[in-house]
Structure 1
């Protein structure tokens, strides 16, 4: 009965004849329902903004961000966390995902793992979680024990806690400092929160990680300047970014990047400030990694 009362478990009246629809009718209905996602997120942007600022504050002081979830929610955390090192050249430890059932659960469902609050505590302890860190507990239903256990434990330590769910007045919201409840209505396929709910949660995690990295100085204008140029595509992107920002030629961008071992930030400062690599690196460090401030400091 508890589950039956959740929005994410209710039946969508538009899809009551789903098994009788043509494939195109199904696709059109799913597309119409998916259009609601961005609007639902728009309604709770103030809460997402609060989360971003708290995560930024924590990371600025040496803390880390942990996404905690089970099933689809856990996999969303894994996806977002795994993209941060190549996109923003962050340490893999800075943003981590902790998933019920461990890494193997990413590929294959491990039944029952989501029901263990205590296991979440053990998993966070294994990561040496401290009060400087932040937890985002992800659960569409808002009642999954595993992320709830993580949020409870984090709060007991004095760490900042954030909940991400798709039901009003979720159970997990009672324990979190910042409650993000994105309400989307019933799914086309009843209870299948890998659909709208998962899409909304992925978008919100994108927002939190991207906005935080921008605030940490990982972006100049709208370009990735802390990209880890570990393959051909990323090296070419690094060159194009240098060309866009400094108006040098392709060849000149390549020459400077060779000097910086394909680190984009010092390459930009070298060219814009007309300084050596050592001076550029020093300016970046003195300005806490903010490229725009580093360039200004050299011209003042």
Structure 2
């Protein structure tokens, strides 16, 4: 996990000590990595050094079972060609700062800084999930609840049968999984309908987990081999049948999309300015800021499905 050097931190933090800023930078980074929902499922790439802002993902062409052949003693078979498609993306930087009028205690972990950073951390997590959802929307395989022909005809909500249907398509396509499970990032309103089902084979509670299963950030249960992870940052629009609000949930396989690795050097930065730093001739303002790089790029549409569904609580 890379952080800025002490000299660089002092240069950007005014009168504050390097240790203070590094502490908060690690705190923000840890929070972002643990609290984001959609970002935890993307393939990660670090920001490039000295080669511009463009990051590159490689999508490798799968090999068929027919490529594996019986060997003849003493005869070397022909080698296979490793083929790939390069997919590039240009990250953007996002950030915000909070002005505080009270004096901040220098060289000390101060509650004012912590409170300001908490607000910024919460907003940053929401923003990252929103940006990822926006990038996924319209770039995956579509699935309309209840078998609707398109989003304008969609009137059905999220059900276990809908998840089973999507899971079946991913399995049939040989889409790789996360620890032997697919993941459904679902809006809480759609989750409410799913958990309200009384039919047999509906909701499987989290108590049914075995002790050796990996629990993902925000995960609350599993059904038909699909881990359920709610997030309020799923997009919605009044675009269904009779102008019903439709939620754009994501059924995800592994490496369907790529993103920046937050652990990479320079990906996340905390900036603390003391009173009198910069354009503050009367020592009236201190500022606390956070900025980070972000991009989401769909790598293979067939590895995920966008499930459009209505909700009774909408």
Classify the TM-score, shorter chain: under 0.3
Scaled by the length of structure 1, the TM-score of the pair is 0.26
Higher RCO (Cα < 8 Å, 6 or more apart): 2
- Flag the structure with higher helix content: 1
Scaled by the length of structure 2, the TM-score of the pair is 0.25
- Flag the structure with higher strand content: 2
Larger Rg: 2
